């Protein structure tokens, strides 16, 4: 489960849309909360010199802001809260902090101080997701409801959708989903999509080929139905099983979220085809880039098992030059 939750805030109302979710998660998991604000350094290479007085004023304002958030969370009965004022490049400092404090879950708003834009997540958020190697809770700032008191209100989840593909990896998200669903008395939905097999061909398939594909698809559908029934016997909570067949498995999962009016998607970072070369598989990546609901992605891999990218290796080699 989640014992330590990290919440980066930049002082903007967009970033603060995570706070009702934070209250809900901290209460559900009885977790420690680490509030972080990073003061970006504008000086250095190619930047204007930093005025010492202005810098101290910015630091004082940031401390005051963190203290205010701390007080409001305490009023909401979230007692185990720490505040941390950091300096440097925001994404890098957030990632370093998460790794040094052994954070279990990072709660992120899709957008912050820079404002909303056409991208589903901001550049800072994308960097944190890709490099932190931690479970992520992502809140869509552009769909978050406005509240008079975002610090003290708690978000109530009603319908949780968990995509499952039959793999043990994907099932890593189930216990957490059950815990959240129980805490909020929410409905639990398990979605399994059978992908129709694809046979590369430059000419129309023969009758025999089509019949073979149909038989294989039906067999996969039966196996999927059996799998969901097995889960019903293993899970300690009732759920609604959603089984469908589609040419596009990922698109079908997105459609399920809309059709079922799910207000939280809980999924594992990897499934059957997941490899340690990337922190998130194709399904999780698609929901990061194109999803519209709050998203809880459970990282199933040990942070030390993830392979460094070529960019990370190159940056490590040239550090200090």
Among candidate residues 267, 240, 241, the one with its CA nearest the CA of residue 254: 267
Q: What is the pLDDT of residues 283-298, one digit of tens each?
A: 999 999 999 999 999 9
Nearest to 11 by CA among 32, 31, 40: 40
Q: What percent of the chain has pLDDT over 90?
A: 73
Question: From edge to edge, which strands make up the β-sheet containing 135-139?
Answer: 81-87, 32-39, 4-8, 105-109, 135-139, 295-298, 264-268, 159-163, 187-195, 240-246
What pLDDT is stored for residue 145 in this prediction? 64
What's the predicted TM-score (pTM) here? 0.91
pLDDT value for 44 = 44
State the angle between helix axes of 90-100 and 123-131 in degrees (0 to 180), rounded to the nearest 10: 30
Return the pLDDT at 236.
85
Model pLDDT, residue 152? 53
Q: At residue 201, does pLDDT exceed 80?
A: no
pLDDT tops 70 at residue 315: yes
As a whole number of Å, the CA-based R_g of the chain is 22
8 A C-beta contact, residue 182 and residue 51:
no
Going 45 to 47 to 48 to 49, the CA torsion angle's sign is: negative
- Token match 């990290």: residue? 6
Q: What gap in Å lies between CA 256 and CA 108, rounded to an integer? A: 24
Q: Which two tokens stand for residue 214?
A: 């149909």
Domains defined for the chain, CATH in brackets: 1-155 (3.40.50.620)
Q: Look at residue 107 and give its three-state secondary structure.
A: strand
pLDDT at 153: 63
Q: For residue range 116-165, what is the model confidence (pLDDT) as tens digits?
A: 888 899 999 999 999 999 999 999 998 876 654 555 567 889 999 999 99
pLDDT digits (tens, 9 = 90+) for 230-267: 999 999 899 999 999 999 999 999 999 999 999 999 99
From the DSSP assignment, how many helices (H) and strands (E) are in the chain?
Answer: 9, 10
At 45, the pLDDT band (50, 70, 90 cuts) reads very low
The residue ranking higher by pLDDT, 47 or 209, is 209
**Residue closest to 87 by CA, chosen among 69, 109, 63, 64:** 63
């Amino acid at each position: 489960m989640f014992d330590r939750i990290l919440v980066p805030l930049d002082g903007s109302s967009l970033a603060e849309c995570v706070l009702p979710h934070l209250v809900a998660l901290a209460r559900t998991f009885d977790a420690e909360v680490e509030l972080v604000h990073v003061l970006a350094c504008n000086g250095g290479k190619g930047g204007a010199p930093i005025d010492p007085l202005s810098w101290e004023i910015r630091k004082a304002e940031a401390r005051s802001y963190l203290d205010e958030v701390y007080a409001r969370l305490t009023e909401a009965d979230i007692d185990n809260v720490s505040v941390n004022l950091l300096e440097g490049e925001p994404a890098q400092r957030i990632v370093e902090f998460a790794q040094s404090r052994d954070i279990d879950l990072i709660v992120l708003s899709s957008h912050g101080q820079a404002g909303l834009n056409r991208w589903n997540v901001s550049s800072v958020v994308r960097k944190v997701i890709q490099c932190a190697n931690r479970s992520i809770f992502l809140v869509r700032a552009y769909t978050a409801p406005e509240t008079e008191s975002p610090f003290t209100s708690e978000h109530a989840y009603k319908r949780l959708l968990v995509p499952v593909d039959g793999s043990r990896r994907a099932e890593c998200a189930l216990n957490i989903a059950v815990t959240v669903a129980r805490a909020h008395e929410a409905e639990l939905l398990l979605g399994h999509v059978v992908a129709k097999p694809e046979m590369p061909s430059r000419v129309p398939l023969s009758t025999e080929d089509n019949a073979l594909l149909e038989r294989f698809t039906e067999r996969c559908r039966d196996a999927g139905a059996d799998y969901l029934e097995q889960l019903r016997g293993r899970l300690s909570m009732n759920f609604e099983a959603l089984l469908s067949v589609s040419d596009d498995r990922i698109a079908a999962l997105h459609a399920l979220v809309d059709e079922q009016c799910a207000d939280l998607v809980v999924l594992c970072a990897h499934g059957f085809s997941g490899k340690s070369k990337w922190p998130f598989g194709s399904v999780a990546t698609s929901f990061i880039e194109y999803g519209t609901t709050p998203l809880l992605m459970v990282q199933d891999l040990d942070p030390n098992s993830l392979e460094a990218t070529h960019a990370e290796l190159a940056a490590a080699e040239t550090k200090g030059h």
